[in-house]
Structures are given as C-alpha cells and as structure tokens.
Amino acid sequence: MGRASVCDGKSSIESRELLGLTAYIGRQSRGLPIAEASDPRLAPFIAAGRALFEGRQGQINMSCAQCHDDNWGKQLAGNIVPQGQPTGYPIYRLEWQGLGSLQRRLRGCIFGVRAQPYEFGAPELVELELYLMSRAKGMPIETPAVRP
C-alpha cells in the first residue's frame, strides 16, 4: 500500500464539505473545555481505545504511548511530538496543504510504524479517537488548528 492510498482524502470522512462543516461547528466551541465522556456506556470503547494506544504494532513494534507519553516534547522529523490530545481537529497541516481529520492523522501514524492502517470509520479508529478525547478532558477546543 503506497503512501497516497493511506491519506488520499477519498473517504467521505475526508470530504472537503464534511471537513469544512466540522471545522465550522468546532469553531463555535473554540475556547470551551472538552467535556468528559460521562455516559457509562462509553467506558468499554474508551478502554478499547486505550488498549490500542498502549499496544505495540507494526514492523517497528511501537505503541502510540511510546511516542506521545514517553517522548512528548522531543523532535521527530523536525516536528515536536505532542502529547496526543486532539484539541484542534480538523486541522490544517502544512504537509497536507489543507484540512484533515483526526482519523487521517491516526492512519498516518499507524502507517509510520509500518502497520496496516484501519479503514476510515473503522471501530478501532473511533475507539482511539474517543480515548484521545478523554485524555484531553478539560483542555480548550482550538478548532480549527494549524500544525506542521
């Protein structure tokens, strides 16, 4: 699978219209704290996302936590490694030259550790998104954000 097929923007999640609408709606909440996922029915999905975040994967045999918990603040390919709180999605990434979803970014990271990325909308990506948002609880929403 080539790089273009991982993040080619052909998914409806990556459609220009949906990203624009999501950025517009997110902008309405800019500065507000990210709320806690208080519905107890979400607990197993947050736990599954955490397990995915902490589990090693790919040819590099690396977990998300190894970068975003153990090495945040350090540089990787000239960029500072964040702690993995998705406060600004959808974001404008300089390397994309446009808006992109959190799922697009997650797929890029998974590809980066040489694992097979999940399809857009896959339950695993949704669970990972939910866990990451739980990590960002209380942080201000900064949608739409700009990142390198």
Q: How long a stretch of residues is the chain?
A: 148
Collapsing DSSP states into helix, strand and coil, what is residue 80? Answer: strand
Q: In the structure encoding, which two tokens stand for residue 5, read together?
A: 């097929």
Backbone CA torsion sign across 5, 79, 134, 58: positive
Is 109 considered catalytic here? Answer: yes
Q: How far apart are CA 106 and CA 6, in angstroms?
A: 10
The answer to whether the beta carbons of residues 104 and 98 sit under 8 Å apart is no
The answer to whether the beta carbons of residues 14 and 104 sit under 8 Å apart is yes
Q: Which residues are catalytic?
A: 109
